[in-house]
Amino acid sequence: MMNNLLKEIRIFHWIKNLLIFAPLIFACSFFDITLIFQAILGFFAFSFIASVVYVLNDVCDIEKDKLHPQKKNRPIASGKISMTMAKVLGTILITIGIFLSFHLPFDFQIILGIYFIFNILYSFWLKHIVSIDIISVALMYLFRIFAGAAIVGVRVSSWMLLTTFFGALFLVVAKRYSELKNQTLSRNILEHYQKEMLELFMGISTTLTIVFYCLYVVEKSPNFIFTIPIVLFGIFRYYYLVFYHGKGEEPEKLLFDPAVFLSGILWILVSILILSIQ
């Protein structure tokens, strides 16, 4: 039972919440023990609340998930976790998330609450509207940036927000593209998309991600231009995996591709080094 519960909260998906640490890094506060501890609390608070949403989505989409070649094996869709147990799990998760948030700035609590409400709107309404569905998911990544900034007490750069938004949009569109390409049509909204259209969306979002990242690094520090090749390699590798290997349905797992993962680690190390010496 414990394995099923851990699988249901989807710890793999928690990797997205690492964005909370981005403001900590770029504010040069990565040696402040107090802020690091608060960022860790914020990471887990966001993760537990996000897991509540995963449980809610699985409960709402149980019939559709049963038709999906992969999602049918999820604990709720497969019947390994009952509806009653799912409700208990959701209650425990949201209680822990709220408790952790009480130890963080009030602005963080507000952002976390808005994030949760926005997810509810997405689950019951927004995900059924063409284009709004992918934009909504991309916007959710921005909540993590704002939450991290609230912990550190800094203002988020417009370039960082734009880079994060379009980078997230690329991941979401690539996910939809892979679902359509692999014919795992568990989402009704996919009936309104075409592969050619999603390929165009990916091209637009990728281009804007690169452009805004370049603008951000030039504004931040001239030395940051040395991170641009690393970012380009990571994006191009992701593109390769999506187009030639049919991957992309689970971006959380794809981010652990050895090449993508190492490029991410290298980017973090180089960024910290640049910020430390400037």
Q: Residue 133 and residue 169: Cα distance in Å, rounded?
A: 10
Residues of the chain with pLDDT under 50: none
pTM, full prediction: 0.89
Structure tokens at 156: 């988020």
**Distance from the Cα of residue 184 to its chain's centroid:** 21
Buried/exposed 210-222: b ≥16 CB within 10 Å, e otherwise: bebbbebbeebee
**143: how many CB neighbours lie within 10 A of its CB?**
21
Backbone dihedral angles phi then psi of residue 68, each to the nearest 5 degrees: -85, 135
DSSP string, the chain: -HHHHHHHHTGGGGGGGGGGGHHHHHTT-TT-HHHHHHHHHHHHHHHHHHHHHHHHHHHHTHHHHTTSTTGGGSHHHHTSS-HHHHHHHHHHHHHHHHHHHTTS-HHHHHHHHHHHHHHHHHHHTGGGSTTHHHHHHHHHHHHHHHHHHHHHT-PPPHHHHHHHHHHHHHHHHHHHHHHHHTT----GGGGG--HHHHHHHHHHHHHHHHHHHHHHHHHH-GGGGGGHHHHHHHHHHHHHHHHHH---S-HHHHTTSHHHHHHHHHHHHHHHHHHHH-
The angle subtended at Cα 31 by Cα 216 and Cα 96, nearest 5°, is: 90
